[in-house]
Amino acid sequence: MVLVLGGSGISQRAESKDIVSARSQPVAVAPDSGVLLLLVPDGTLEAEPGVKAWKDAASEIGVRMTVITDSQFLTMGTETALEYAGLVLPDQLHTIATDAVVAAIHDFTYQGGKTFLTFDFGALTLRSDGMAVYPIPKSRLSDLAGVDYVLYDKYLDRTVGLGPVTAMRSTLRELQVPPGKSEPFTTSPSPTSSARGGSPSISSSAGPLATAQIVTRLGQAAARVAQPLGKISGKVPLLQAAGLKDGEAMYAPVSPADPGGVRAFDTQQFQMLPMPDAGASDRSRSRAVRVNFGRVRRGAEPTQASVVSPATGISRAAERAKTDSLQGAEAGAVDVLQAYSGYLLGYLIYPSYVTEGAYTGTALAASPQFGLVAGLKAYGAGHVMFVNLPLTYLKGRTDALPMHGMLQYFAKYVLGSAQLANVPNGVPGMVFNWHLDSMEAQQPMRALEQAGIFNTGSSSIHITAGPDTINFGDKLGFDLNNNTTAKAFLRRMRAKGHAVGSHGGWIHDYYGLNASETNGSSFLQYLVLNRQSVAGALGHPSRDYSAPQGNNPRWAMDWLEQQGVVGVYFGGHTGLGVTRQYRDGALRNGNLWVVPVTPMGNYATFEEFQEYNVPKVEVIDWYHSLVDFGITQNTVRMVYAHPPGAYDWIDVMKDLQTYAASQGTTRFQWYNMARLADFMTKREQVQWSEQMDGSGIVHFQASHPSDLTEMVWRLPKLRYQMPSAVNGGSVEDGGSVWLVRAAAGVRTLTFKSLLN
């Protein structure tokens, strides 16, 4: 890593706002003003999984991040550090911080720096004998955060709580949480029924909480008991499953070895949840979710936790680049409090430190029991975005949405960063993934074809090709090798521009329910057979893939990567766009991109909507909201379906396609997985920089080894004036942003923009 030090500095730029007159001014080369600094301890390797997780997140949202060690940061000094975009203080990577580093962070922020402070950064200090201990009585960064936290001296094993995270719906959209990944969190009596099928009905097996295995079963739309705000356990199925009583809360035990208590509860267990079985007569009711609460403990709720009311979008106008968090189906609705939710699980639960004291900043997210989860406040001439969540840990355990969403908020609304769009040509959209599980799908898929459903855009169509579906010899499968009708269908889909691939391993339910991390030697053959069959039908190998039951053992992903598969449906990181496969705490399969599913609350497929009496109008509104979300946030999300359920509700499918088409092809596109994976791989090779001269003009340079085709930069108008001197591209008005589009075939692009 090389840091360019020195230069004129942001605080020294001239007051002139006239580009012409500025050209005559002396130009002083400064550090890259668009780069985020990721602060890590001395000796930390850039190849460390947590460091890569942050740098990949930055790259995927379209900003750049470089690593800086404590010694480098102290040597650099505040004046030079202020010339960079901002300072990121990561959780997990830097739990111990010296007083000198803490003081330097304070000075950087007070003098005008933008600081992103997370969870257990600097949670521990060193005694004179070198032992890491908790500071007394609170974190030394509490004044930056705006609340007191890391209150180990007071709370001991109740320092970190585990519960739902709430925010206003408009804020959640800004945090990249799509419609369906958050659900209303009411603080008043709930209605006696839920249009979305009610909360999961959960029962617990015997045993202490520390070792409990919780069985979750979905039931028919059921009455929801009204609960006052204080009775959080009555609102949250996972807390009900843990057996919490009124006035109790769940806590994650902490220690200097695990200062945030994150190892007490493993969120990766949610990355594969049971989907509808192809062979079950009652697909949805047949499933059960087992939740292991690990070392979590019960205890009395804290009585002095910060009382936080998350702000609505309107009250945050000063911090936002534009009031654009809600459009379309959600635009006219009253902003409501919601909480992060998960497929089959209801409200998700996250670890956060108990916080105390009144928060005077703008609260973005809160814990109903434990206080502030995320907020933005001024500190001297600078600003601090505090995120009281273990973002690094969550991403490594297959939940990257909080990290990516919080970092995107910081880049867009706090820094006003220029960003490299993560969609081709800067055009957002959706991925629609079809799962052809068994012969049951053949007639519906042909009927959908005759109705014109496959004539619109591109999608990913994945088939389980064997002759059986539930088990050996049932003859319920496609038998693709001998099925001329199915072969012809797949070829027609390929000709229409759809990506055709494998849906797992030959026998849908047998593979999906039984493949594991330990039986690859016997189950790999089913992936091989399925892939060979699909390749035989198409005349070439396939490049994207989905697994029955979302079951993706590591050995399967390794093999798929070796076979040239580039895009894979993934049950982890739900609600996120195309991303890397972080699991088991590290990046796996560097040539693969995973495409997480976005659910509609507890459900995801037409069969589930129908089984649990979800009204069509709600599904239609959800689909519309996803289209609007993609356009507003300039991103892509993925949904999936089976032909039988889709044909039963073909009017909903037609409505979705009509609504998407009404947006226009320059605002919305249908993508397949391989298309996006190829784009993201090419995009990773883009090198670009921002250099601000002494006159306040930012000079942009971008290059690519082959070409910059389809690359688009987004510059927020609140910070940047219209770009000029564009060489290798063009400028367009993108509403709240300037769009700088690279010309087809060019390898380099340069332009400049004067800061407002």
pLDDT, averaged across the chain: 89
More confident residue, 316 or 511: 511
* Rounded-to-integer distance, Cα 191 and Cα 193, Å: 5
Q: Other CB atoms closer than 10 Å to residue 188's CB: what's the count? A: 8
CA distance 28 to 691: 9
Q: What is the pLDDT of residues 40-99, one digit of tens each?
A: 999 999 999 999 999 999 999 999 999 999 999 999 999 999 999 999 999 999 999 999
Residue 89, beta-bridge partner list: 117
β-bridge mates for residue 162, sequence order: 250, 351
Closest CA to 499 of 462, 460, 537, 535: 460
Q: Which of 83, 135, 84, 77 is nearest to 103 (CA)?
A: 77
pLDDT tops 50 at residue 236:
yes
Strand partners, 291: 214
Quick: pLDDT tens for 440-476: 999 999 999 999 999 999 999 999 999 999 999 999 9
- pLDDT-based confidence at 246, cuts 50/70/90? confident
DSSP 162-216: EE--EEEHHHHHHTT--TTSEEE--SSPPPSS-TT--SPEEEE-SS-GGG-EEEE
| Neighbour count for residue 535 (Cβ, 10 Å) | 17
Distances from the Cα of 416 to the Cα of 164, 268, 334, angstroms = 29, 33, 27
- What is the per-residue burial (b if ≥16 Cβ within 10 Å, else e) of 246-256? eebbbbbbbee
User: Tokens 């399925």 sit at which residue?
Assistant: 530
Q: Residues 417, 421, 426, 431: what is their CA dihedral angle, to the nearest 10 degrees? A: -130
Contact 252, 262 (CB under 8 A): yes
H-state helical runs in 593-722:
606-611, 616-633, 643-648, 650-662, 673-683
Instruction: Give 82: exposed, middle or buried? Use CB within 10 Å, 0-12, 13-18, 19+.
Output: buried
Structure tokens at 86: 């901002």
> In whole angstroms, what is the distance from residue 92 CA to residue 118 CA?
9
Q: What DSSP assignment string belongs to 724-746?
A: EEEESEEEEE-SSEEEEEEPTT-
Encode burial over 23-34: b for 16+ CB neighbours within 10 A, e otherwise: eeeeebebbbbb
Query: What's CA 198's distance to the chain center, in Å?
Result: 25
The DSSP element (H or E) to which 430 belongs, if any, is: strand 429-436
What percent of the chain stands above pLDDT 70?
85
The DSSP-derived string for 11-74 is GG--S---HHHHTTS-----SBTTEEEEEE-TT--TTSHHHHHHHHHHHHHT-EEEEEEHHHHH
Whether residue 137 is preceded by a cis peptide bond, meaning omega within 30 degrees of 0, is yes
DSSP H or E segment with residue 556: helix 554-562
| Range in 212-216, 422-426, 664-668, 750-754 the model is least confident about | 212-216
Other CB atoms within a 10 A radius of the CB of residue 140 amount to 18
Comparing CA positions, the residue from 370, 132, 342, 349 lying closest to residue 262 is 349
Highest mean pLDDT range out of 83-87, 213-217, 284-288? 83-87
Q: How far is CA 360 from CA 27, 128, 145, 353, 570, in A?
A: 41, 35, 10, 18, 40
* Nearby residues of 705 by Cβ (< 8 Å), 6 or more positions away: 685, 747
Q: Are 527 and 565 in contact (CB under 8 A)?
A: no
Listed by start position, the domains of the chain span 10-151+352-419, 166-315, 429-663, 683-754
More confident residue, 300 or 214: 300
Q: Kind and range of the H or E element at 753? A: strand 748-754
Which span out of 2-16, 194-208, 280-294, 479-493 was modeled with the highest average pLDDT?
A: 479-493
CB atoms within 10 A of CB 548: 26
228 CB contacts (<8 Å, ≥6 apart)?
A: none
User: CB atoms < 10 A from the CB of 518, how many?
Assistant: 10
Q: Is the pLDDT of residue 599 over 80?
A: yes
Please give the share of the chain, as a percent, with pLDDT higher than 90: 81
Looking at domain 10-151+352-419, its CATH superfamily turns out to be Class I glutamine amidotransferase (GATase) domain (3.40.50.880)
What is the spatial distance between Cα 181 and Cα 183, in angstroms, rounded to a whole number?
A: 7
The pLDDT score that the predictor gives to residue 14 is 30
Cβ-based neighbour number of residue 192 at 10 Å: 10
Q: Are 341 and 181 in contact (CB under 8 A)?
A: yes
Helix locations, 202-275, DSSP H: 237-241
Give the chain's end-to-end CA distance (angstroms, integer): 31
Write down the architecture of domain 429-663 according to CATH: Alpha-Beta Barrel (3.20)
Please give the pLDDT value at position 278. 56
Q: What is the dihedral of CA 557, 563, 564, 565, to 10 degrees?
A: -40
The predicted structure's pLDDT at residue 231: 72
What does residue 253 show for φ and ψ, rounded to 5 degrees? Answer: -55, 140
Mean local confidence (pLDDT), 267-275: 79
465-490 in b/e form (b: 16+ CB < 10 A) is bbbbbbeeeeebbbebeebeebbebb
* pLDDT higher at 11 or 735: 735
Query: In whole angstroms, how far apart are CA 436 and each of 281, 480, 545?
Result: 17, 11, 12
Could you report the per-residue pLDDT of 512-533, keeping only the tens digit for each? 999 999 999 999 999 999 999 9
CA distance 399 to 558: 20
- Residue 40: φ, ψ to 5°: -135, 160
Diameter of the chain measured on Cα atoms: 82
Burial class (CB in 10 A: 0-12, 13-18, 19+), 383: buried
Half-sphere exposure of 756 toward its Cβ, with a 13 Å CA cutoff? 9
